[in-house]
């Protein structure tokens, strides 16, 4: 079997108190894993820990994705720049990924190629006609498409997505799901997503993990 994209060993996550304990998880190239569990369990905390936004409490996260900026994180609130255009939001993702791949070219080449990549990613999510619109004028579903394009433009090895299918009607969700599946398969990268909608989790993921088995119970509950 190929080397896993990420290997999580005995990981404990939380803030000044632990929430989830001794998580073990490996994700292989080309694999999509969904995590489910009730609200307040620590799903977002786990993604933020893997993304390196907050420190882990203990355990190991092994894989060389972080060093290369290979993690594409789609936070629950998307983190888009509301007054900036679709193009400029997608460009925020493209900046690191594209530059690395075109080191041999000159700056003019690089900037032209970057523009081609951005336009292609925007086209893939079906928003070419909105490319110059500011984010604040888009619907919730369209904003999720922009966040998807921004992540694809980054060419990450691991995509972390926090409930990114919410607010999408079935048609939109289906098209984003097939886009992400193709992307992960073609690039042999991996995806870890939080999805409380179990049918959608089953539709997108190869494997579903119920995080409640790692929940830290208070002595009264245990």
Ligand X SMILES: Nc1ncnc2c1ncn2[C@@H]1O[C@H](COP(=O)(O)OP(=O)(O)O)[C@@H](O)[C@H]1O
By CB under 6 A, name the binding residues for ligand X: 15, 19, 39-45
Considering the complex, state which of residue 40 and residue 219 has its C-beta at the smaller distance from ligand X.
40
> Which residue's entry shows tokens 């980054």?
154
3-class secondary-structure state, position 42: coil
Q: Tell whether residue 166 is a contact of Mg ion (CB under 5 A).
A: no
User: Based on CB atoms, which residue is closest to ligand X, 38 or 116?
Assistant: 38
Q: Where are the beta strands (DSSP E) in the chain?
A: 6-14, 18-27, 32-36, 58-62, 71-74, 158-162, 190-194, 207-210
* Of residues 43 and 155, the one with the C-beta less far from Mg ion: 43
Distance CA(122)–CA(140), nearest Å, equals 16
Q: Considering the complex, what minimum distance in angstroms separates the CB of residue 219 from ligand X?
A: 18
Which partner, ligand X, Mg ion, none, binds residue 40 by CB below 5 to 8 Å per kind? ligand X
Place of tokens 């690395």: 100
H/E segment holding residue 184: helix 170-187
What tokens appear for 11 in the block? 């990981």
Q: Which two tokens stand for residue 18?
A: 């632990």
Supply the minimum distance, in Å, between the C-beta of residue 45 and Mg ion: 8
Pick from Mg ion, ligand X, none: which does 97 bind, CB < 5 to 8 A by kind? none
How distant, in Å, are the alpha carbons of 4, 7, 36, 39 from that of 180? 19, 21, 19, 25
Which 3 state secondary structure label does DSSP give 126?
coil
Q: Give the Cα separation of 168 and 90 in Å (integer).
A: 20
Which is closer to ligand X, CB of 19 or CB of 32? 19
CB of 41 to ligand X, least distance (A): 4
202 binds, among ligand X, Mg ion, none (CB under 5 to 8 A by kind): none
Cβ proximity to ligand X: between 39 and 106 the closer is 39
Q: Closest separation between CB of residue 161 and ligand X, Å?
A: 13
* Residue in 44, 115, 166, 187 binding Mg ion, rule: CB under 5 A: 44
Residues that bind Mg ion (CB under 5 A): 43-44
């Amino acid at each position: 079997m190929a080397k896993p994209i990420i290997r999580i060993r005995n990981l404990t996550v939380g803030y000044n108190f632990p929430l989830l304990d001794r998580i073990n998880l490996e994700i292989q190239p080309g694999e999509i894993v969904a995590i489910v569990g009730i609200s307040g369990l620590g799903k977002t905390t786990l993604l933020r820990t893997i993304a390196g936004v907050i420190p882990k409490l203990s355990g190991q996260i092994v894989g060389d994705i972080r060093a290369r900026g290979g993690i594409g994180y789609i936070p629950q609130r998307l983190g888009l720049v509301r007054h900036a255009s679709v193009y400029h939001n997608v460009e925020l993702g493209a900046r690191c990924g594209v530059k690395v791949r075109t080191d041999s070219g000159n700056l003019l080449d690089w900037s032209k190629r970057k523009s081609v990549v951005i336009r292609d990613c925007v086209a893939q999510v079906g928003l070419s006609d909105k490319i110059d619109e500011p984010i604040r004028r888009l619907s919730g579903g369209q904003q999720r498409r922009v966040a998807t394009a921004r992540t694809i433009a980054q060419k990450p090895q691991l995509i972390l997505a926090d409930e990114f299918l919410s607010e999408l009607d079935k048609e939109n969700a289906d098209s984003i799901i097939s886009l992400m599946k193709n992307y992960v398969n073609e690039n042999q990268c991996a995806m870890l997503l939080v999805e409380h909608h179990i049918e959608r989790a089953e539709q997108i993921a190869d494997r579903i993990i119920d995080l409640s088995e790692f929940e830290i119970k208070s002595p009264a509950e245990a």
